[in-house]
Amino acid sequence: MNTFRLITGIPGPSGFGSASTAEQVTEGIDATNLTAIITGGASGIGLETARVLALHKAHVVIAARNMEAANQAKQLILKDNDTARIDVMKLDLSSIKSIKAFADNFNALNIPLNILINNAGVMFCPFQLSEDGIEMQFATNHLGHFYVTNLLLDKMKDTAKATGIEGRIVNLSSVAHLHTYGGGIRFDNINDQRSYSDKKAYGQSKLANILHASELSRRLQEEGANITVNSVHPGLIMTNLMRHSAVLMRILKVFTCILWKDIPQGAATTCYVALNPKLKRVTGKYFLDCNEYKPSTFARDEILAKKLWDFSNKLVNSAQNT
């Protein structure tokens, strides 16, 4: 990470930097013909991402666990943009059953899908298992997005083929992927409570987001599919994601205030990667402050990425059969 650029906001090679906002990095872009799904689009940077994509006339589907919050988010966007095309749909990423129902419901709408933004997540939560018996941060942040992406992939391929418009998948990762367990991913003891670390478990899930994007990108390139897959670090932003460690984060922010972003800045990299025409055919990359960066050694490990893909498939199949 270029700390000097982060602190000063000086733009990188893309022309944008840590001080750029989501509106600035998408200025002049017409998304009228695009449909986007944003997981966790009811609050924080997900809501800002939904607002900005709708501002550019995209049809936005907010996929959220809390439908009351999702509907409030929709009304908030419509209040300032009464022509916005916003729909809300139920999705609990910690539940294989809910993910399957969401994908079935979306596919039944018979509408295109150009952009999938895997934004939702949990952070630093105490040890708990999902309803499918999987450690919650891994289940929600990685496995849920892995499964929902697979279920929507044919729709994205069909849309890209029919329209000639490049599809884009964006995984929200984090610089926290640098802080994970030994070996990167704990394949043999993913649910071990005794050695559980809320910080390392979060880092593990964020590493998985990058590995997922890299492996999916490789597979789609082999197929010749007109879809790119990239991962992003949005930056340090105080949102509801930090509710499990709010006091710690507020103390940390006092001593690192110059490193933090506001929500419009936090959504910038996501919106840049999802919409900006400069990134046409750019795939399998990791972005920070709207510029490409090199992630950790683990995140660049192709063997680890393939192993995670197979492991994730096994977990999904096991959950479906219980």
Cα 93 to Cα 49: distance, rounded to the nearest angstrom: 19
Task: Quick: pLDDT tens for 116-150.
Answer: 999 999 999 999 999 999 999 999 999 999 999 99
For residue 170, give the CATH number of its domain: 3.40.50.720
Task: State the residue for tokens 């009351």.
Answer: 68
147 belongs to the catalytic site: no
The number of helices, as runs of H, and strands, as runs of E, in the chain is 12, 8
Domain interval for residue 15: 3-320
Active-site residue (options: 147, 196, 272, 293):
196
Query: According to the model, what pLDDT value does residue 321 have?
Result: 84
What is the pLDDT, as a whole number, of residue 243?
47
Q: Is-above-0.85 flag for pTM?
A: yes
Give strand pairing partners of 35: 59
Q: What is the rounded CA–CA span in Å between residue 110 and residue 126? A: 39
Torsion region of 251: left, alpha or beta (phi above 0 gives left; psi -120 to 50 gives alpha): alpha
pLDDT at 238: 56
In the block, residue with structure tokens 């649910």: 191
pLDDT digit string, tens, across residues 210-248: 999 999 999 999 999 999 999 999 988 754 544 444 555
- What is d(CA 27, CA 49) in angstroms, rounded to the nearest whole number? 14
- Overall number of domains in the chain: 1
Report the percentage of the chain scoring pLDDT > 90: 88
| pLDDT at res. 5 | 55
Q: Is 123 helix (H, G, I), strand (E, B) or coil?
A: coil
Q: Measure the CA–CA gap between 12 and 290, rounded to whole angstroms.
A: 8
Q: Which residues of the chain have pLDDT under 50?
A: 239, 241-245, 249, 251-258
